[in-house]
Structure 1
């Protein structure tokens, strides 16, 4: 059984209240359980270093504001994270690669106080394997057009909410088709995002000797109803410093098929190459490896 450390944010415990994750810890009437009413963030700790914590906390609070959900300030979360990692190191012994999840629900129905906790646990074995070997992906229609986020803000498309049933159903469908993951498209034909990741597309120019002379990195438009990716933001900052040209969509499926490389990027799986899209190979393998190694190095340094 995977060791999970659980720390609840509790005003009576300034550094968080450690609870036994193997015992019941939530009320059955918590609105996070009964309605999926809440927000979360998932981040990675590598070799004891918490990656992109300010960006994750900022997005957590942005999501909470969209839900009109009051959550503790950054320093309260930070103290609970320190407690969780100290307890994880005490029980497991190492902090080489740890997933940290921050969760805030609307709380027990009728009590008007959020339930907030930090969980620390080891990543799934598939995360590292897919990061190293790449993934096969299918395109799926999300069923909304690309302007829906502006017209219907109550759909909360730019918030990282607990309502992930559709995302998980999409992944199950992909697995039933022999694929690993999904890239959603809008009903008007724009590329959006993965169920748990951001899409990145690269185009490269090479000289007669095969050396890369120009590189462009593109991601879908942020106003198309997708979740702003903390990993995408960090990588774009690093790539810009390294001389990459950057762009924000709009992207269509043909742009993916024509790309020199496509990746899904997320906080836990990191930069994951797309090997096949709807059964068709993406890019030339040696160029994909070259670009992946460069971007992964840039991401590691900045994250």
Structure 2
């Protein structure tokens, strides 16, 4: 039986004292979080989930940059990048020393405003076995759902925190349950004024007229670390790549579609709102091999 690794971030911001790494291994089965932590009572915090393939945390630097960006949007203190970086590596090493090397793992980083009234942020990381996404990498049935916000909400209403990877994930989980009720595997959100956005836990990749596109991140979309690697893969194969506003009609008219994320990697869409889409199985397999082979 595998046992997850848990680390508490003892110095989530600023500089540790001499000889203090700023983190410590903790007992995964013991109580660690105060029930008055604002991450628990208010969802007031941010997180990142990093794929770990054969001991290599993928895109660790970009994930930590995104953690810092999400923290900035929530007016949280700047996380100590070097502490979180070393804690991830230590967590992966500890997990592998007890459970064996290799395979697909994930490291989840959580950073909250901390216990109410203390003014001190909380942080922790856990490393565990990744979910088996074999079937999702072969094909996904997807539905579109109205997000209920305009595509420019990040500019007009920044207090809604569009584009922050916050702990307030109840809406995303509700959307995924709605997809299941409709006989689908996942969701693509559409803005109230008709633009394709993102999935609850993924970015959208569109192939149309020989061009690889993804919706622009100025629409309150979380910038995707895996999406950036997907663009690199296609650019190496001669495909033009582009960030742009994509209407719901353009999405429906695509030649091929994928949902991509850090732990699932790339899942080709076989059906969108009941319409069938072709899947280039060989291309998708090459794409996933590329994504899984990344060592940084």
Shift of 1:2: 6.0
Q: Is contact 1:71–1:104 with CA below 8 Å preserved after alignment?
A: no
Q: Is contact 1:10–1:17 with CA below 8 Å preserved after alignment?
A: yes
Q: Is contact 1:106–1:114 with CA below 8 Å preserved after alignment?
A: yes
**1:246 counterpart = 2:237:** no
Shift of 1:90: 2.1
> 1:113 is matched with which residue?
120
2:48 to 37, 41, 63: 41
1:222 to 213, 217, 224: 217
Q: How far does the alpha carbon of each residue in 1:167-199 deviate from its partner, in whole angstroms, 9 at most, with x for none?
A: 000001111111110000001110000000000
**1:293 counterpart = 2:285:** yes
Q: How far does the alpha carbon of each residue in 1:50-102 deviate from its partner, in whole angstroms, 9 at most, with x for none?
A: 11011101110011111110143221011111221122112212232110011
1:24 to 27, 31, 41: 31
> 2:139 is matched with which residue?
134
Shift of 1:203: 2.8
Count of paired positions: 288
Q: Is contact 2:145–2:189 with CA below 8 Å preserved after alignment?
A: yes
Counterparts of 1:33 and 1:15, CA distance in 2: 22
Q: Secondary structure in 2 aligned to 1:14?
A: coil
1:123 to 121, 130, 146: 130
Q: How does 1:118-267 map to 2 (within 5 A)?
A: 118-125=125-132, 127-131=133-137, 133-203=138-208, 215-267=210-262
Q: Secondary structure in 2 aligned to 1:39?
A: strand
Q: Is contact 1:8–1:116 with CA below 8 Å preserved after alignment?
A: yes
Counterparts of 1:3 and 1:68, CA distance in 2: 34
Q: Secondary structure in 2 aligned to 1:143?
A: coil
Counterparts of 1:154 and 1:292, CA distance in 2: 38
Counterparts of 2:99 and 2:22, CA distance in 1: 20
Q: Is contact 1:15–1:79 with CA below 8 Å preserved after alignment?
A: no
Q: Secondary structure in 2 aligned to 1:157?
A: coil
Q: Which runs of 5+ in 1 are unaligned?
A: 205-214
**Mean Cα displacement is larger for which, 257-266 or 56-65?**
257-266
Normalised by the length of structure 1, the TM-score is: 0.90
Give the structure with the higher percent helix: 1
Q: Secondary structure in 2 aligned to 1:124?
A: coil
> 1:3 is matched with which residue?
3
Q: Secondary structure in 1 aligned to 2:123?
A: strand
Q: Is contact 2:2–2:99 with CA below 8 Å preserved after alignment?
A: no
Q: Is contact 1:139–1:277 with CA below 8 Å preserved after alignment?
A: yes
Q: Secondary structure in 1 aligned to 2:141?
A: strand
Q: How far does the alpha carbon of each residue in 1:139-166 deviate from its partner, in whole angstroms, 9 at most, with x for none?
A: 1000001111100001110111111000
